[in-house]
Structure 1
């Protein structure tokens, strides 16, 4: 094992075996308690005013042994911060009293953690611990990999306690990622653990494509393969016949060499609450065992939790989303879990179950069980923290908020209001009072908070509660014109009143300060679309799709905006993405058909047309078919620079399908004739076109008369060809067609058809002469 690996195991709280974990946690707990209340350590930070420059100089002037002691002090700080705010239970009373003294005044350190003019959540406890850990991991360097990794974790924790995504923290993460010092000799389990935590942070910032890269890298290194497949099973107790259900099959290439047994008492973990329904089973009862080759260790479990987190963010929120995710959640819950992994899985399941009224009550009971377990003394606090960074464990107040959201779904608005008020979630308080038709009460509560401590956020919320625009102006001025929230709420107010042109500058200002707010991009795009500001709409929807890559509406609207600004290739790509989200929407397929035709992507034209016929049963777009046939017949280059003639056979198949659905459409038969492999087949199809055109009172319409005469000219040219035997029945048949057409059109005597009638008459005389000549030869 390399020296770096030893340091990683020692300073990253990564256990190798259960025995080592138990001994290590017991020793570290005592050590952390002593370190955390060491006045000498704290005095050094207070003497240097928690200033980056001064702290950096201080650490540069101490020896390696002292650096390691301070680094462990940093570990104690971040550990207890995570315990107090994420994993529970409450900190020991003596430590809690120590940090609640005047010396560690919360407001001072909360301001040090303020980013982009946005304060940390008001429920955050012991902010001094995060400030101190951040300074230590950044400036007290004991090993570049260890320091980089802890700095990454600090960024994740810091973002979790902010109410909005921070562009500054994302930039910091990007900078840190570029300088990550990863020793290539490190074992694959350490590398995979890092990939999981990197993915979790990028998912927090909704950087989905970057997160997926690291998920795939971890899967490859751990040799994990998984597939979603159909398998027979039962969902209900009284189901007699097994039906196809979505199942997850997982294989792991090799067993873990290290003993990573998770030996936590089942009573110390939150209970998996059953559904408690007389009909529904707790999980699908499959006919066959679809188990994996080996049990999943804690790292593999965290990886699957990360995969589900990615799916929650990137998949559209519909019925299929839950069906796709539950196999992953069931797989992890079927394993021997750690405390944090089990809670993360159960929380995700609760979130999915809030959309199903039949099991909503289970989600409520499960949330209550989780909140109770967070306050239990066992398992030990350090054993919980080990997995917090790789599971995306939310802060405790977010778990309470999710619990209150479930209460709202059940109609228990007053109960939810109590929780929201306790957490000082004033936006949700406004929603509850609005439900209760007591919106004025919300304004009173928020005004009370403003009287105590006026902030831009509170003025924004007062504006939401009272519909008073001046509140947003006060918020903007109070923030010294730096609050994206003030501009966002201001724009949202105007947007809700359909003042689209007025709201756009406010949304743009808000996004220039903080571009990491997807709903604002969406509203900006919609407002711009309504006033036909196509360029702004295209930009807004393009940015929104970076955060929500599975949003059908955004992709569809982006395509519309791209068409309007003349960016047809951009529109084509947007429509393809829209189809991934909604494959059965015929209108989007029609848009793809038209755009593909415009950019000469004939492969997509054919695919889209077939799909439209599948969806609509009957669909006709003569203009598109005309362009397709013309380009294929004239061998014009397509969008890829290759000749369109390569699509000849597929175009024939498409026209064959269309003509079978529209047997009386003359023009379609005329197009189909152009694709004929033989001259006689072409003549037959032109005759079908002739019959199609000559339906009903065709001779009363000069345009139709012209079309009939044009077909007659083409037919005549075919039968007058030297290769056509005069004795062939097609010659006489065409002669009759021409004769009938001339007779009918002459009766109407349209000015537009006179020249054509003369031309067809000449061809008819030639056909008659050809037949006479053949007859003379036969007689001789």
Structure 2
């Protein structure tokens, strides 16, 4: 296949015809032009297309790819004809189901049937049902009310043929795959060769910035659709670089409300295009692109407003329609300081698509916090401010509607705007070529997905009846069942599903119009999509738990072993009832059919943990985090599996009697896992500990508030020698839990090890640096190493001063703090820390009348310790006599509180200590 794109291929890809028709007079070129101009009936009813859609068998029992006449010898004209007809089929499908307006041709109009003695039984309804059945993929059914589904199937078949002369077919396969994914219940994995094959095509488009940017953008959208957010983010940035888009999220002074008196810094997206805009250039006499875009505006508005959906006004008594920027320049230091935030130049439509895609990525890669909406809004506002294309503006308004749906003052406009977008689909307010121009460069949802979103919006507002009406019209029975459940009539949902399975309830309006004849019902059941029927059996299993296994197994049989939903449901059923072996068997089948669903992998991993199959559990959780990098629970469980693997033998889960830190299981919102690696096991390979450390570190990025994960991270970090990270983790645990559990929030062993790591280095910084340089006494690197000596001190000292001491009072904490202060030579502070530890210890809190002898004996040891500290530190202080008074006072007070124990042998130790202090005073 040649790697050079022809002019007609570029015209089809761009959706703009700029070829010289006098030089290309062949009928195929005329058909290609008709595709670009949206004249699909002319293309699909042409003689060449009819030859492709000729069917010899009138019964039409064969699959589409075998029934169509596709055996013509390959040539330039034949390949171009196939490509042109495939694009016409794809765009006709999009016109009906995505962009509107109504289409003037049906799939039955383009099919030619061979001679037969009896009338052909083929009807439009049967043709559509057959196509929908063939479009089921990876065990996931296609939406059964998809219109003209045969056109999408025809496009897939024509593009799957071998092409020698037109490499753009690789790009069109990407576009078909992206559309196909959107009609399935759940995304399914794509062949790895799909994106890999586009590398050579990228090189062929290198001299065309708009084509290069569009190709990279569409690859990113497919990755986004498959939940590969990291790859999608990288591709969106590459697309912006390819088109030369300059953008920056910054701040500028402005007002957001009508009564705001002072200007505040408002978030704004500054952006400037450098692509040549043909449409803008046609309205001006200049050839310079930047000037062309600028000169077509007056005060930031386009001179000729395009035909785009209506932007509803907010009409709020407080909020402004849009941020009113009072500054003509952004925050100092911005590299786009020459742009006025309140009057930015229009962007190229392709650059608008890139910004909207980046907005999607902000949503998918940011934690669930309030900043997400604030980050997304400037992207959307930048696109809405200058409408350039019908489909792009529709997508921007849809994104704004989603952002505003959660805010009280904007919820009304959000719902009305969504309704307006649905209503304008069948209208002719813009031309079909304009609607299709950038439809592949944005994630515009289908018509039924828009209506479904509106119904969910109603359901969220409590308007259940209105939502129910929409779901029933869309025949989304799973949502219908949920609505009846919300109305406290679950039996109604069960009846609906049973009627559908029994054929007593006809779904589509076309079926109802034919009447409920036995022959019609039987024919309808004959072509019924098996994947869809299996889904209904699964839904019935969800509604009738007492017969769930029977229904799920029936779904598996009906689908002939292709229903991933059946195995997912059956596996979850067995897991909930602790039948882990059966759950593993079912879930392994499910993930083999559709490996893109992280929940299936997660439950599989948990089931493997319960059976102590650490290797398989590790593999399952690895797949979870590969699909969703923000799945903190899976990262934590993956770390647990690394600590389980490689051990000499399986050990019982128990807490270390010697005081080792507990391994906490993450607070799981889906399924609670209980893996607890024993810290006493010394046979865990260091490589596994390091992998566990990295897994926890990654998981904490999306679960910053989870103190259990921080506690696990603290233990593992200490094990692998990352003491600075262990110090940080201890601080987070204390911050999150000290208000509830007090001193128990501090792991004393970890704290002691941190202090020991600091104090084993020389206290003098110069001496420590010299020791590190000379390698003396095994202290190589202790001065600069962040995990030892003075390097670690930078983390440990703030840990005490800013986090632990203001929140926790515990003897062991004060003793560790005193040890650190002693190492630094801060004698007065060290003595004060020891005294604070004594006051909150057993001896300091002992009250008169205590009867516990064991506790009293422990207190004696603390008294002796504090007196020894006073004897050692006291002479180092400026007032060298004050310590004696403190020692006598402490001893006298303690003996006064514990006179009940004068008969105990240990009382003599107190008397002897008192006499010793008296001798030193004399």
TM-score range, shorter chain: 0.7 to 0.9
Q: Which residue of 1 aligns with 2:149?
A: 127
Partner of 1:335: 386
1:281 aligns to what? 320
How far residue 615 of structure 1 moved from its aligned partner, in angstroms, is 6.3
- Contact 1:145–1:180 (8 Å) recurs in 2: yes
Relative to 1, partners in 2 of residues 1:690 and 1:514: Cα closer, same or farther, differing over 3 Å? same
Farther off after superposition, 322-331 or 142-151: 142-151
Are the counterparts in 2 of residues 538 and 562 from structure 1 also a CA contact under 8 Å? no
Contact kept, 8 Å, 1:709 with 1:757, in 2: the verdict is no
Q: 1: distance between equivalents of 2:781 and 2:916?
A: 37
CA drift of 1:97 comes to 4.7
Give runs of aligned pairs for residues 221-300 of structure 1, distance below 5 A.
Answer: 221-245=242-266, 247-252=267-272, 255-261=274-280, 268-288=307-327, 290-291=341-342, 294-300=345-351
Measured in 2, the distance between the counterparts of 1:691 and 1:98 equals 91
User: Which of 80, 97, 104 is the matching residue for 1:85?
Assistant: 97
- Whether the aligned pair in 1 keeps the contact of 2:359 and 2:376 (CA below 8 Å) is yes
Q: Are 1:361 and 2:439 an aligned pair?
A: no
Separation (CA, whole Å) in 2 of partners of 1:649 and 1:761: 41
Displacement of 1:306: 0.9
Match of 1:67 in 2: 79
Alignment partners' CA distance in 2, 1:191 and 1:665: 64
CA contact (8 A) 1:260 1:297 kept: no
Please give the alpha-carbon distance, in whole angstroms, between the structure 1 residues aligned to 2:608 and 2:191: 28
Residues 588 and 604 of structure 2 are in contact (CA less than 8 Å); yes or no, is this contact kept in structure 1? yes
Q: Distance in 2 between matches of 1:44 and 1:505?
A: 45
Q: Which moved more, 1:203-212 or 1:474-483?
A: 474-483
| CA–CA separation in structure 2 for the residues paired with 1:504 and 1:638 | 49
Q: For the residues of structure 2 that align with 1:116 and 1:386, how far apart are their CA atoms?
A: 30
Q: Distance in 1 between matches of 2:82 and 2:188?
A: 29
1:420 to 461, 471, 490: 471
What is the match of residue 754 of structure 2?
628
Q: Is the 8 A contact 2:632 2:700 kept in 1?
A: yes
Q: Are 1:564 and 2:676 matched, yes or no? A: yes
In structure 1, distance between residues paired with 2:551 and 2:708:
43
With over 3 angstroms needed to count, the CA separation of the structure-2 counterparts of 1:231 and 1:623, relative to structure 1, is farther
Greater mean alpha carbon deviation, residues 584-593 or residues 197-206: 584-593
Q: What does residue range 426-505 of structure 1 map to in structure 2 within 5 Å?
A: 426-452=477-503, 453=525, 455-467=533-545, 468-469=547-548, 470-492=550-572, 505=585
Partner of 1:674: 819
* Displacement of 1:751: 7.3
Aligned equivalent of 2:42: 34
The equivalent of 2:229 in structure 1 is 208
C-alpha separation in 1, matches of 2:208 and 2:399: 30
Native 8 Å contact 2:202 2:215 kept in 1: no
Deviation at 1:284, TM superposition (A): 3.2
Change (3 A) 1:328 1:655: same
Partner in structure 1 of residue 858 of structure 2: 703
Change (3 A) 1:436 1:761: closer
Is residue 2:202 matched to residue 1:163?
Answer: no
Q: Which SS does the other structure have where 2:311 is aligned? A: coil
- Cα contact 1:152–1:173 (8 A) shared by 2: yes
- Distance apart, 1:408 and its partner CA: 2.1
Distance of 1:52 and 1:271 partners within structure 2: 43
Q: TM-score, normalised by structure 1?
A: 0.82
Contact persistence 2:210–2:275 (CA under 8 A): no
* Cα distance change of structure 1 residues 616 and 183 upon mapping to structure 2, 3 Å threshold: same
Task: Work out whether 1:381 is the aligned partner of 2:425.
Answer: no
Cα distance in 2, alignment partners of residues 25 and 353 from structure 1: 41
**What do residues 475-525 of structure 1 show as CA deviations (whole Å, max 9, x unaligned)?**
112122331111223345567889888756544432232121234445556
Equivalent positions of 1:508-523 (< 5 A) are 508-521=588-601
Aligned partners of 2:903, 2:873: CA distance in 1, in Å?
A: 27
| Cα distance in 2, alignment partners of residues 686 and 673 from structure 1 | 7
Q: What secondary structure, in the 3-state scheme, does the structure 1 residue paired with 2:278 have?
A: coil
> What is the rounded CA distance, in whole Å, between the counterparts of 2:557 and 2:907 in structure 1?
76
C-alpha spacing 1:282/1:137, structure 2 compared with 1 (3 Å): same
Taking structure 1 as reference, are residues 729 and 717 closer, same or farther at Cα in structure 2, changes over 3 Å only?
A: same
Distance 2:135 2:398 in 1: 27
Q: CA deviation at 1:616?
A: 7.2
Q: How much does 1:430 deviate?
A: 0.8
Is it true that 1:307 corresponds to 2:452 in the alignment? no
Q: Matches of 2:724 and 2:796 in 1, distance apart?
A: 9
Q: What's the CA shift string for 1:366-405, capped at 9, x where partnerless?
A: 2222222211234222221221111012222212211222
In the alignment, structure 1 segments of 5+ residues that lack a partner are: 773-780
Is 2:724–2:786's contact at 8 Å kept on the other side of the alignment? no
Higher helix share: 1
Does 1:118 find its partner at 2:239? no
Q: Is the deviation greater in 380-389 or in 568-577?
A: 568-577
Q: 2:322, 2:132 → 1: CA distance?
A: 44
> How many residues are treated as equivalent by the alignment?
755
SS of equivalent to 2:41: helix
C-alpha contact (below 8 Å) 2:734/2:804 kept by paired residues: no
CA distance in 1, matches of 2:691, 2:538: 37
Q: CA, structure 1 residues 685+115, in 2 after alignment: closer, same or farther (shift >3 Å)? A: same
Q: How has the CA–CA distance of structure 1 residues 176 and 438 changed in structure 2, closer, same or farther, with 3 Å as cutoff?
A: farther
1:13 aligns with 2:168: no
In 1: Cα distance, 2:239 partner to 2:203 partner: 15
CA shift for structure 1 position 89: 1.4
CA distance in 2, matches of 1:152, 1:426: 31
Distance 1:361 1:692, change over 3 A: closer
Contact 2:34 2:43 in 1 (8 A): no
1:98-113 pair list within 5 angstroms: 98=110, 102=122, 105-113=127-135
Determine the C-alpha separation between the residues in 1 that align with 2:409 and 2:150. 44
What SS does structure 2 have at the residue aligned with 1:307?
helix
Moved more, 625-634 or 519-528: 519-528
Q: Quick one: distance in 2 between partners of 1:342 and 1:358? A: 23
| 1:529 Cα offset (Å) | 8.3
Taking the TM superposition and a 5 Å limit, the aligned residue runs for 1:611-760 are 620=743, 621=746, 622-635=748-761, 644-645=788-789, 646-657=791-802, 661=806, 665-676=810-821, 681-682=826-827, 685-686=830-831, 688-690=833-835, 692-693=837-838, 695-697=844-846, 701-710=856-865, 713=868, 732=881
Secondary structure, aligned partner of 2:323: strand
Cα distance between partner residues in 2 of 1:370 and 1:684? 69
More deviation, 587-596/265-274? 587-596
Kindly tell me: are residues 546 and 227 of structure 1, through their superposed partners in 2, closer, same or farther at Cα, counting changes over 3 Å? farther
Per-residue deviation, residues 277-320 of structure 1 (Å, max 9, x unmatched): 33343333343352576421111001011112223334455544
Is the Cα contact below 8 Å between 1:716 and 1:764 reproduced in 2? no
1:4 is matched with which residue? Answer: 5
Q: Distance in 2 between matches of 1:508 and 1:556?
A: 22
Instruction: Return the alpha-carbon distance in structure 1 between the equivalents of residues 91 and 808 of structure 2.
Output: 76
CA positional deviation for 1:163 = 1.6
Instruction: Give the Cα separation in 2 of the matches to 1:274 and 1:344.
Output: 17
2:51 to 30, 40, 43: 43
Gaps of 5+ in 2: 22-30, 57-61, 113-119, 284-301, 329-340, 504-524, 640-664, 666-672, 679-687, 762-778, 848-852
Match of 1:141 in 2: 163
Q: CA 1:509–1:95 in structure 2 vs 1: closer, same or farther (change >3 Å)?
A: closer
Residue equivalent to 1:150? 172
Q: Is the 8 A contact 2:727 2:795 kept in 1?
A: yes
Supply the distance in 1 between the matched residues of 2:575 and 2:465 (Cα, whole angstroms): 29
CA RMSD of aligned residues (A): 4.6
